[in-house]
């Protein structure tokens, strides 16, 4: 098809229109560039510390649980690199910060998987293969997370998690104290839609037994086909008044298993677990006046409390056949967790404060 011949006047008008279009950026002068650089070099204003005690505590929680999704991937990779607690030729172990999702999804701007290629290059050079996830942690959970340096090692470690060869331990600050102080929660879990004015889904218990109203005895019931086996071992490490700190060992790996077993199985929800402190509604966790006073909060500000669940300890069996040593990994809890322990007069036994090692 032959090209059409446009009048020169039409072409000149089109060029003038393009040149004056707002889409064309105005050249930046040297003076404007210098001013921009001066603005960037100015020290950032330090947030003013509120005089009100409650507002001070809220500001503290907000700063300590800052949203990592707002960071550029390169900056986030530097944060994760700074939090590395162990590395060898096969794996890298990081301390996952609070509020950082592992995988992408609706509303997620940045997650751990997004920065794995950048982190790998920071550690082993520009030609390094991207790191691989070996397991997952919830967005609000902090602590030990294992990454593999190649796909074969990743599959090997994933299989170890799947076949329960990996020993995992968590610390959690809970509302109340479970009775007995040490035991095993063996109740299946399933996901269920909550029937309320605000439709949402939650994990919940799906027990194999029910209490007979006639003779008050337990009767076995048919297992729900959607329920997954879930077993959690727990032990009270310290308690004071309205709260306690627990060591938890999930034998299985069901979504939100620890949170559900503590809240619905033992009646001791995790401090800051706003999702599982209620069943029929989405609302901030309701705390006693004594707990609020110790934390320096008011109930209207309780929504700022972060989830106090920390993956503290992980033991990996030998990854390669030529290795004989297990790897014991210990990760210290975040600042907000330590401060809550102090304010609630709870403590972790000295025997729990070990260093990462192999044996």
Active site residues: 138
Cα separation, 274 vs 261, in Å, equals: 15
Q: Could you tell me which of 166, 147, 258 has the C-alpha nearest to residue 203?
A: 258
Question: Checking DSSP bridges between strand 142-148 and strand 309-316, what pairing results, if any?
Answer: parallel
Tokens 């901030």 belong to 284
Structure tokens at 349: 């036994």
**Residues in the chain, overall count:** 359
Signed CA dihedral, 177, 179, 180, 182: sign only: negative
Q: Count CB atoms within 10 A of the CB of residue 288.
A: 14
DSSP tag of 301? G
- Residue-by-residue DSSP string for 140-189: T-EEEEEEESSHHHHHHHHHHHHTT-SEEEEEEEEES--SSSEEEEE--E
Q: Could you tell me which of 67, 103, 98, 147 has the C-alpha nearest to residue 307?
A: 98
Q: What are phi and psi of 42, to 5 degrees?
A: -65, 135
Between the two ends of the chain, the Cα-to-Cα distance in Å is 78
């Amino acid at each position: 098809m032959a090209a059409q011949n446009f009048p020169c006047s039409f072409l000149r008008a089109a060029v003038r229109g393009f040149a004056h279009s707002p889409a064309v950026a105005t050249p930046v002068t040297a003076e404007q560039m210098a001013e921009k650089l001066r603005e960037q070099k100015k020290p950032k204003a330090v947030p003013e510390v509120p005089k009100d005690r409650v507002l001070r505590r809220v500001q503290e929680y907000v700063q300590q649980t800052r949203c990592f999704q707002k960071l550029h991937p390169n900056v986030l990779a530097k944060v994760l690199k700074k939090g590395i607690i162990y590395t060898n030729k096969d794996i890298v172990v990081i301390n996952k910060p609070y509020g950082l999702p592992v995988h992408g999804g609706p509303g997620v701007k940045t997650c751990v998987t997004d920065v794995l290629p950048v982190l790998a290059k920071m550690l082993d050079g520009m030609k390094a293969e991207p790191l691989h996830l070996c397991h997952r942690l919830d967005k609000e959970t902090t602590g030990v997370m294992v990454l593999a340096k190649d796909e074969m090692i990743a599959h090997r470690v994933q299989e170890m998690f799947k076949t329960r060869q990996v020993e995992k331990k968590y610390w959690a600050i809970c509302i109340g104290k479970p009775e007995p102080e040490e035991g095993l929660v063996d109740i299946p879990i399933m996901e269920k839609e909550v029937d309320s004015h605000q439709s949402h889904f939650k994990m919940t218990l799906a027990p194999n037994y029910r209490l007979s109203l006639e003779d008050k005895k337990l009767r076995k019931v048919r297992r729900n086909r959607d329920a997954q086996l879930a077993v959690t071992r727990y032990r009270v490490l310290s308690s004071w008044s309205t709260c306690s700190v627990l060591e938890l060992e999930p034998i299985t790996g069901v979504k939100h298993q620890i949170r559900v077993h503590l809240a619905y199985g033992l009646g001791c929800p995790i401090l800051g677990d706003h999702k599982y402190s209620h069943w029929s509604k989405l609302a901030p966790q309701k705390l006693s006046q004594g707990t609020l006073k110790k934390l320096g909060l008011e109930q209207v500000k309780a929504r700022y409390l972060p989830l106090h669940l920390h993956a503290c300890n992980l033991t990996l069996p030998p990854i390669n056949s030529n290795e004989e040593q297990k790897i014991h990994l210990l990760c210290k809890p975040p600042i907000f967790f330590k401060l809550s322990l102090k304010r609630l007069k709870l403590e972790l036994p000295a025997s729990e404060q070990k260093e990462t090692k192999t044996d």
